């Protein structure tokens, strides 16, 4: 369930506003790497980030995500909306797990580096 509209237009929207990935990431409160993954479609856009990006790009959230204003396309409701919400929740949980794994790997690298420095003394 990937959103190719956002993937295709994230770079265009950012460059139109003459922003770097780092500047957008800073405004979202995420790392540049995390924002880069959003642009490449490697991670999903979560609600909080979508709202911040929509504000940054001065457009409705629905237009940012789906390419149209809310009301101009079918918006899921009922069971479909519940499933979409669960998909978003699972995607967010997976993103958190990946982030924690990356942090753990970074910490392991730091520990190895410190151990090597201590052994060199």
Q: Which residues contact 6 (CB under 8 A, 6 or more apart)?
A: 38, 41, 45, 64, 65
What is the average per-residue pLDDT within 97-103?
90
**Which range, 19-28, 56-65, 77-86, is most confident?**
19-28
Same domain, 65 and 96: no
- Only one residue has tokens 């942090």, namely 103
Task: Find the helix packing angle between 4-16 and 32-40, rounded to 10°.
Answer: 130
pLDDT tens for residues 40-49?
A: 888 877 777 8
**Mean local confidence (pLDDT), 89-93:** 83
Is the same domain home to 56 and 19?
A: yes
92 and 121, same structural domain? yes
The pLDDT value recorded for residue 81 is: 63
CATH of the domain at 17: 1.10.260.40
Specify whether 68 is located in the same domain as 107: no
Q: Euclidean distance between the first and final Cα of the chain, in Å?
A: 53
**Residues 67, 96 within the same domain:** no
Look at residue 69 in the predicted model and tell me its pLDDT.
46
DSSP for 45-89, please give it: PPHHHHHHHHHHTTS-HHHHHHSS-TTSS----THHHHHHHHHHH
Residue 118 has pLDDT above 80, yes or no: yes
Shared domain for 19 and 30, answered yes or no, is yes
Instruction: For residues 61 and 5, state if they share a domain.
Output: yes
Residues 81 and 121 in one domain: yes
pLDDT at 82: 66
Domain that includes residue 81, residue range: 76-121
pLDDT given for residue 88 in this prediction: 80
Looking at the structure, do residues 83 and 68 belong to the same domain, yes or no? Answer: no
Per-residue pLDDT at 76 exceeds 80: no
Q: What does the block give as tokens for 116?
A: 């090597």
The pLDDT assigned to 70 comes to 44
If asked whether residues 17 and 31 sit together in one domain, one would say yes
What's the CA gap between 109 and 68, in Å, rounded? 44
């Amino acid at each position: 369930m990937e959103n190719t509209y956002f993937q295709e237009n994230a770079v265009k929207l950012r460059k139109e506003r003459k922003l770097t990935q780092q500047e957008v990431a800073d405004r979202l409160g995420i790392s540049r790497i995390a924002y880069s993954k959003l642009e490449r479609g490697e991670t999903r856009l979560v609600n909080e980030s979508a709202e911040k990006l929509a504000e940054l790009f001065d457009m409705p959230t629905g237009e940012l995500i789906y390419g149209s204003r809310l009301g101009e396309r079918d918006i899921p409701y009922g069971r479909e909306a519940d499933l979409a919400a669960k998909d978003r929740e699972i995607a967010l949980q997976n993103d958190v797990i990946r982030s924690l794994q990356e942090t753990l790997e970074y910490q392991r690298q730091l520990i190895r580096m410190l151990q090597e420095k201590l052994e060199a003394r």
